[in-house]
Chains A and B, each alone.
Chain A
Amino acid sequence: MEEASKVSRYLYTLIVLFLIWLALTASLDPQELTFGFILSAIVAAITYPIFTTRGLANLHPKRIAYAIVYVPYFLWAMIMANLDVAYRVLHPKRPIRPGIVHCKTVLKTNPGKLALANSITLTPGTITLDVDCDNYFIHWIWVPDEALTEKEEEHVKAASEKITAPFEKFLKVIFE
């Protein structure tokens, strides 16, 4: 992934920080706006080299649209996940079949991998243990029958389909 130009990266950091400032102050007082802009410009000048590698390309309308759609999609998955775990806790037989599974991802960029790892941790009884290149090692509360196979390839395929694929269709557009 080649880096965007310095100007583009700086402007992207500035825009994001200024939006955060607006959310923090929650006021449109011109004094706050002026000072927030100055402060964002200074902080962006210090921090842009480590904040972003792609700069303004992150603000592509298609990416923003997918990111907005991803929020309710993800929240729904999270609610269902918590209900599922509550069911397992309250069930008299406590139906758990824990195990660590191996998934592969198609995401290439680091922010994409971070978003995927966090999405996995916050949803259906799965927790990301480690990420190594495109390999994800995930602890699952109920490993389904399809993933209980001796063959590595089938195992990875079944686990990835269940865990990473649902998020990847969104994250791929947002972060790739």
Chain B
Amino acid sequence: MLKRALAIISLLIIGYWLAQGLAGVPFGQDKMLVGQYYLNHVREQTGAVNAVTAVVVNYRGFDTLGEVTVLFIASTGVGALLWRKKRERTAKTEGSVVLKTGAELLFPFIVLFGAYIFIHGHLTPGGGFPGGATIATAFLLLYMAFVGYEIPHRAFEKVEGVAGMGYVLVGLIGLAIGGYFLFDWIWLTWKWGAENIGRLFSAGFIPVIYTLIGIKVGTELSGIIDNMLKEEVGE
């Protein structure tokens, strides 16, 4: 009781403190310093209509590379923590025919929609991470509906690695052409797609990178799901 009361009191103090700090920040007023630069120059500098993806992939590309690395480490870490020689799915309850057929029929649509999200990253909200997470959801659905389902491990691990290397490779080509890592060579050097900003084939390397990230995130999260759903079995 005393513990709980103390916790509530300290939370209230912290909350009041944060509220006092935020009270000095006006709401709904123009406080953009760097933001205004992004909004004014995003079209001619990156060719993207979606300013968020342009910032995430072009202006602040290193952060995205870091995020991809974090995800990769998370996946590897789960794999390392749960590593055993012999692990199998030990689920016992088979889903009903309604669940199984529903999962079968929905699976292609979810995968296609995930691909739609990451390919339109420069035009609509979304991008590689939501698209990849959507694709992983499709595999989660199969895992939940079928007792014995497993992703094709070999293919998934290879695709994941190739997609990650592809991202770095695109950045290295930028280094060779433009002089710094993650230089957008497709847009700034080739001017490819410059006449149709706002259509699908535009925005330099954003769609390329987001396709790679989408594939990587999709396979990676599926791998984490696979690792966490399997249990150790005796030899």
Interface residues of A (CB under 8 A from B): 13, 16-17, 20-21, 24-25, 29, 31-32, 35, 39-40, 42-44, 46-48, 50-51, 110-111, 113-114, 117-118, 128, 130-132
Contact = CB atoms under 8 A, between A and B. Distances in A.
Contact of A113 (B97, B113, B115): B97
Contact of A111 (B101, B109, B196, B201): B101
Interface of A is mostly: helix
A130 B201 contact: no
The 4 nearest A-B residue pairs measured at CB? A47-B108, A114-B101, A31-B200, A110-B101
Contact of B108 (A29, A51, A111, A118): A51
Nearest to A130: B96
Nearest to B116: A24
Dominant SS among interface residues on chain B: helix
Interface residues on B, range: 20 to 34
B102 interface: yes
Contact of B116 (A21, A47, A110, A111): A21
Contacts of B113: 24
29 contacts: A13-B108, A17-B108, A17-B109, A17-B112, A20-B109, A24-B112, A31-B196, A31-B199, A31-B200, A32-B200, A35-B119, A35-B200, A39-B112, A39-B116, A40-B112, A42-B115, A43-B112, A44-B108, A47-B107, A50-B104, A51-B104, A51-B108, A110-B100, A110-B101, A113-B98, A113-B101, A117-B98, A118-B98, A128-B98
Contacts of B116: 21, 24-25, 39
Given A46-B111, A130-B96, A114 B105 contact: yes
A111 B105 contact: yes
B214 to A, nearest CB: 11
B111 A31 contact: no
Contacts of B115: 39, 42-43
